[in-house]
């Protein structure tokens, strides 16, 4: 998969060069291009924002640099996504759908967002990562890139790690332990050391159901449907 991210702050994407996503890029499982919208401004001062028509606080990103930046990467296989607090809620299900596509273009707005004409001309999907407002779409875009990239073939070590995730069956994860079997007097539950895989699977299922009922009753109700 190829992902092009359009932003005024390309350096904020440094975290994606680390760890699993960094390795996915190195191993060519993901082609990730971080594109500076300012490079496309035809203004003599490279200006990319202006005041809002009709009044109101703050600045809006102007159409020209965005139109040119988008047109520089757009092709017939592209899905254009705009990160916005008024977008559709991003979920694991949405990530799985995006992970099947060839090419994503993700637009990051800053300030009060972008001119509506950019959205009308190019955007296929407005996505929100949750009901809160950030100073820019960069953190939300990183959330989308990370979530989608770890679902791509051969990005995680085992096929299973993505399939066993929380939300995969609308249940939260059971508690997990590693060595040592006793640490500062705190013991790992006996059942997990028993080697009885049937009983272990049963215990994990019960634990998942308990934690999901306590923390996310909405998920339990959704499952019953």
With binding defined as CB under 6 A, does residue 109 bind ligand 4G0? yes
3-state DSSP assignment of residue 191? helix
- The set of residues, in sequence order, having a beta carbon less than 8 Å from that of 107 and lying 6+ positions away, is 6, 66, 70, 80, 81, 82, 83, 114, 118, 123, 137
Q: Which of 28, 44, 132, 160 binds ligand 4G0 (CB under 6 A)?
A: 132
Asked if 137 touches ligand 4G0 (CB under 6 A), the answer is: yes
CB 46 within 8 A of CB 38: yes
Evaluate the omega torsion of the peptide bond into residue 93 and state whether it is cis, within 30 degrees of 0: no
Contact range with ligand 4G0 by CB under 6 A, out of 73-81, 128-136, 149-157, 192-200: 128-136
Closer to ligand 4G0 at the Cβ: 25 or 59? 59
Which residues touch 23 (CB under 8 Å, ≥6 apart)?
155
Contact flag: residue 186 with ligand 4G0 (CB under 6 A): no
Residue 126 designated active-site: no
Is 85 a binding residue for ligand 4G0 by CB under 6 A? The answer is yes
CB closer to ligand 4G0 out of 65 and 137: 137
Q: Which DSSP helix (H) or strand (E) runs through 61?
A: strand 59-61
> Which is the catalytic residue, given 38, 68, 85, 146?
85
d(CA 175, CA 40): 49
User: Which of the residues are catalytic?
Assistant: 85, 112, 150, 165
Positions touching ligand 4G0 (CB under 6 A) are 83-85, 109, 112-113, 128-130, 132-134, 136-137, 140
């Amino acid at each position: 998969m190829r992902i092009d991210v359009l932003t005024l702050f390309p350096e904020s994407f440094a975290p994606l060069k680390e760890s699993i996503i960094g390795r996915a890029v190195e191993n060519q499982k993901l082609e990730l291009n971080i594109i500076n919208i300012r490079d496309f401004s035809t203004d003599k001062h490279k200006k990319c924002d202006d005041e809002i028509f009709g009044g109101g606080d703050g600045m809006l990103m102007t159409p020209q640099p965005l139109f040119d930046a988008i047109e520089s990467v757009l092709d017939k296989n592209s899905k254009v996504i705009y990160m916005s607090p008024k977008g559709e809620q991003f979920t694991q299900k949405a990530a799985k759908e995006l992970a099947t596509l060839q090419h994503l273009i993700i637009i990051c707005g800053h300030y009060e967002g972008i001119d509506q004409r950019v959205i009308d001309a190019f955007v296929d999907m407005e996505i929100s990562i949750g009901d809160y407002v950030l100073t820019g779409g960069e953190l939300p875009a990183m959330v989308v890139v990370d979530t989608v990239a770890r679902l791509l073939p051969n990005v995680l070590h085992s096929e299973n790690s993505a399939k066993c995730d929380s939300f995969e069956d609308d249940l939260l994860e059971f508690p997990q332990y590693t060595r040592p079997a006793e640490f500062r007097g705190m013991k790992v539950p006996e059942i997990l050391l028993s080697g009885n895989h049937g009983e272990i699977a049963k215990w994990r299922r019960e634990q998942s159901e308990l934690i999901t009922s306590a923390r996310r009753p909405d998920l339990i109700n959704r499952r019953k449907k």
